[in-house]
Homo-oligomer: A and B are copies of this chain.
Amino acid sequence: MQTGNGNPTMKDVAREAGVALGTVSKVVNGIPVGEPYKEKVEAAVKKLNYRVNNYAKGLKSSQTYIIQVIVPNLVNPFFATLVHYIYRELARRGYKMLLGETDSDPEMEQESVFLAEQQKVDGIICLSYNPKLQAPEKVPLISIDRYFGARIPCVSCDNYGGGRLAAEMLVENGCRNLAFLRIGSSLTNEPNKRKDGFVNGCEGLGVPYTMKIVDDYTPYAEFEKFLQEHYHGGKLDFDGIFCVTDSLAYQIVGTLKEMKVRVPEDVQVIGFDGIRQFGDMDYFCSTIVQPVEEMAEQCVQMVLEKDAAKKPALVCLPVRYAKGGTTRV
């Protein structure tokens, strides 16, 4: 983690002044300390150009040094990791983060965006599933993973390339008959891109494929039914499955285990997202890894960029394949 480019911290002031952190805090908060200490701290604050009280300063300069980050929730490890990296990048640049969760409720998403504007934050980074999301009038908005048109710059991973890579990796692993499984809102276009890339990959390689695509409201049992329908004489009709998320892949592997279908011997499975167990251990499955850290950096850079001409409408960052035990290689 780089810190060299960031603003000076209270710790830097303490070091420069040769006093304890608590002394610096007291001085900047107006709590009495011995005069020699006060002078040392004030000299260091001046020398380092330490920014005292962003909050009050914000009102004068009309900058608050606060960015609002809006995600569906933090329980989903993909969103939590994304917020982690956005936080880190904002902190490095001396910005604070106001967090907002929306539970994927479109009205809540819209309200969060409008409210953030009202809070006078310097920018908004939003992961919304609301296809009709209106941008705020006065505050820059960066969208993650949803493209709302050229007015709202969007950062996402290369979903299309990832879908194609999944097909290629399954074939490289020896699969000859593929399936694509997807659950998710039909409003979102990103899972569609994963599908389109997958189809393109299969067709390019001349490999047959089957698809099962359902919306968020369909019970998981539909997938069990689909697998049963394609199970004949102790064998599945396909030997490679691409699932639209790691979470779905994890469930599918569980169902296959119950059906006594061996993974990866009988069928190989690839998910999408690159989620790790406990945040930093093994992958749950072989997967197409989203470059979460780079996506976070890109969002922060774009939300703070003053020159609109330097903000592309859509930035797709490259994905990579990672082995996670559900493929041969």
Interface residues of A (CB under 8 A from B): 1, 9-11, 21-22, 24-26, 28-29, 31, 52-56, 59, 64, 66, 73-77, 80-81, 83-84, 87-88, 91, 96-101, 103, 107-108, 110-111, 114-115, 117-120, 134, 136-138, 246-247, 250-251, 275, 277-281, 284
Contacts and interface: CB of A to CB of B under 8 A. Distances in A.
A61 to B, nearest CB: 14
A117 B25 contact: yes
Nearest to A284: B277
Contacts of A110: 21-22
Contacts of A22: 110, 114, 134
A84 to B, nearest CB: 4
How many copies, total?
2
24 contacts: A1-B103, A11-B111, A21-B110, A21-B111, A25-B117, A25-B118, A28-B118, A29-B114, A31-B137, A59-B59, A74-B80, A75-B80, A75-B279, A76-B278, A77-B278, A80-B80, A88-B101, A96-B98, A96-B119, A98-B98, A250-B277, A251-B281, A275-B278, A277-B277
B118 A53 contact: yes
A83 B96 CA distance: 16
A198 B111 CA distance: 48
A261 B117 CA distance: 58
B74 A107 contact: no
Given A21-B107, A91-B101, A115 B75 contact: no
Contacts of A29: 114, 117-118, 137-138
Nearest to A246: B278
A285 B54 CA distance: 45
A20 to B, nearest CB: 9
A84 B77 contact: no
Contact of A99 (B87, B134, B284): B87
Contact of A87 (B74, B96, B111, B138): B74
A117 B24 CA distance: 12
Given A29-B137, A119-B96, A10 B114 contact: yes
Contacts of A96: 98, 100, 119
A22 B275 CA distance: 36
A15 to B, nearest CB: 10
